[in-house]
Amino acid sequence: MKIADNTVVSMTYTLTENDEKGTMIQEVNKDKPFVFLYGSGFLLPKFEENIKDLEAAASYAFSLLSDVAYGPIRDDALMELDKKLFEIKGKIDENILFVGNDIPMQNNDGQTVMGKVLEISDDKVKMDFNHPLAGIDLYFKGEILDIREATPEEVEHGHVHVPEG
């Protein structure tokens, strides 16, 4: 069977910056493989393009430039916010608001977005709302472990159902 829309794919991968010798970002091994519904729209389109039509036991390796991965770093995603936005009952929780912490926030549409705290001053907090992998060229290398047809429920729900529920 080949990877195509509405197939469930199990795979391993290593994700590094730029190329095979780049800094390790993430590793997924056979003990806990990455399992997903191909064609459901949750993965990077260029990632799916690179594995389409592969079969079980196939190895793969490919790069994605940042522009087709998570995009470039956008200056408009760097924002200075009023420090009062982070108050809970009139106080700042220093266990939440500290440089380097990722904080879930809401955008103007009510969607949750993650922001990294870059700087804290007396009255302002500088946040970065870029994706953590924005501006980084990615290199994937791994193996396709298994491919199966998705169940009708998986297709309807848009995700894989695992035995544990």
Q: What domains does the chain contain, in order, with CATH numbers? A: 7-70+134-157 (3.10.50.40), 75-128 (2.40.10.330)
Report, as an integer, the average pLDDT of 40-50.
Answer: 95
Q: Quote the pLDDT of residue 148.
A: 97
Mean pLDDT of the chain: 95
Token couple for 144: 């396709």
**For residues 1-13, b (16+ Cβ closer than 10 Å) or e, as one string?**
eebeeebbbbbbb
Going by pLDDT thresholds of 50, 70 and 90, the confidence category of residue 150 is very high
Say yes or no to pLDDT of 27 above 90.
Answer: yes
Going by pLDDT thresholds of 50, 70 and 90, the confidence category of residue 164 is low
Say yes or no to pLDDT of 165 above 80.
Answer: no
Report, as an integer, the average pLDDT of 98-115.
Answer: 93
